[in-house]
Amino acid sequence: MSVVLVTVLTALVIAPCRDDAQTVPPPQAIVDSNTVPRISTEQLKGLLETATAIVIDVRTPESFAAGHIVGAINVPLPDVESRARELRDLARGKAVVAYCSCPDEHASIAAGVILIRQGVPGVSALVGGYPAWVKGGGKTGK
Considering only residues 131 and 29, tell me which one the structure prediction assigns the higher pLDDT. 131
Helix (H, G, I), strand (E, B) or coil at 23: coil
Domain CATH code at residue 11:
3.40.250.10
**Residue 49: which residues within 8 A CB-CB, separation 6 or more?**
none
pTM over 0.85: no
Range of the domain at 114: 2-141
User: What is the model's pLDDT at position 115?
Assistant: 92
**How many Cβ atoms are within 10 Å of 125's Cβ, its own excluded?**
28
User: What is the model's pLDDT at position 126?
Assistant: 95
Domain count within the chain: 1
- The answer to whether residue 114 scores a pLDDT higher than 50 is yes
pLDDT digits 0-9 by tens, 84-100: 999 999 998 899 999 99
Question: Which residues on neighbouring strands pair with residue 87, listed in sequence order?
Answer: none
Q: Which of 76, 78, 45 is nearest to 58 (CA)?
A: 76
Question: Distance between CA 75 and CA 111 in Å, rounded?
Answer: 9
Q: Quick one: DSSP state of residue 16?
A: G
**Spatial contact of 10 and 27, defined as CB atoms under 8 Å apart:** yes
pLDDT digits 0-9 by tens, 39-67: 999 999 999 999 999 999 999 999 999 99
Q: Which residues are catalytic?
A: 102
**Spatial contact of 47 and 53, defined as CB atoms under 8 Å apart:** yes
User: What is the model's pLDDT at position 109?
Assistant: 94
User: What is the model's pLDDT at position 32?
Assistant: 59
Helix (H, G, I), strand (E, B) or coil at 54: strand
Q: At what angle do helices 84-91 and 106-117 cross, to 10 degrees?
A: 80
Amino acid making up residue 99: Y
